[in-house]
Amino acid sequence: MFTHNMKLAEIVQSDYNTLNVINRFGIKLGFGEKTVSTVCAHYGINAGFFLEILNAYHDPNYFPQKHLQSFSVGEIVEYLRKTHRSYIDEEIPFIEQLMNQMLKDCNNPQEIRPILKFFGDYKTELFNHLTWEDDKIFPYTLDVEEAFTTGNKLQEVIVAMHSYSMSDFLDEHDDIESKLYDINTLFIKYVPPVSNQVVCVRMLKEFSLLQKDINNHARIEEKVLAPKVIEMEKVLIQKQ
């Protein structure tokens, strides 16, 4: 388990995948001998929240949802939004670059096109999902928190809650990570011999990293954000 007094460099060395999380918090590389506390103080980051996310990311069995729920909806949503941006601006474009490279190196590009089409469709679905959360779900959760803590927007939130509550979100929140798993399987099984296998292996690694990341992201939405908002909704409904 990662703690406040550990050096950030040691955390990265013990799990290089934590670099994704570190990057999303806006922390630049070159932290030298600095501990988590020192780095977080330097960047004005809540070290407790940062550590919870790092630990949840590093170990699927470490998921203290109760503890994570002690952070504000604002903090949780800010991190989730940053994660969306990293999928849209960095991770998916990088996979596409590798795919284009693979396509160039492939002896018979036609053989590979169906899988690329499958990935293209997945990307559209993923981006629609992220936009739906950014534009509809996250603003609603922030309004619920505001109504809960200050009483502002109470009527507005109650009306919104009747047409679409956080429980509806949980019912509808689809399984975008299992589709990524399917694409990964398709690639492993059916990618034809390519002249540059290095690129292909690299892409498969990126796929599994993204799959793990999206899985973790969805867990925070379903096991931390949604239950926290549902608890607030229950209180608000009594006030109407």
Contacts to Fe ion by CB under 5 A: 133, 221
In this complex, which beta carbon is closest to Fe ion, that of residue 145 or of residue 221? 221
Question: Which residues pair with residue 106 across a beta bridge?
Answer: 194
CA distance 91 to 210: 7
Q: Min. distance of Cβ 174 from Fe ion in angstroms?
A: 8
In this complex, which beta carbon is closest to Fe ion, that of residue 113 or of residue 136? 136
In this complex, which beta carbon is closest to Fe ion, that of residue 88 or of residue 191? 88
Cβ 144 vs Cβ 233: under 8 Å: yes
In this complex, which beta carbon is closest to Fe ion, that of residue 143 or of residue 221? 221
Count of H helices and E strands in the chain? 14, 0
Q: What is the DSSP letter of 45?
A: -
Cβ 19 vs Cβ 179: under 8 Å: no
CA distance 130 to 134: 6
Q: Min. distance of Cβ 80 from Fe ion in angstroms?
A: 5
In this complex, which beta carbon is closest to Fe ion, that of residue 79 or of residue 187? 79
Over the Cα atoms of the chain, what is R_g?
20
In this complex, which beta carbon is closest to Fe ion, that of residue 87 or of residue 207? 87
Helix (H, G, I), strand (E, B) or coil at 4: coil
Q: Min. distance of Cβ 171 from Fe ion in angstroms?
A: 13
Q: Min. distance of Cβ 35 from Fe ion in angstroms?
A: 30
CA 90-117-106 angle, to 5 degrees, is 85
Q: Name the one residue in this structure whose structure tokens are 């596409």.
A: 96
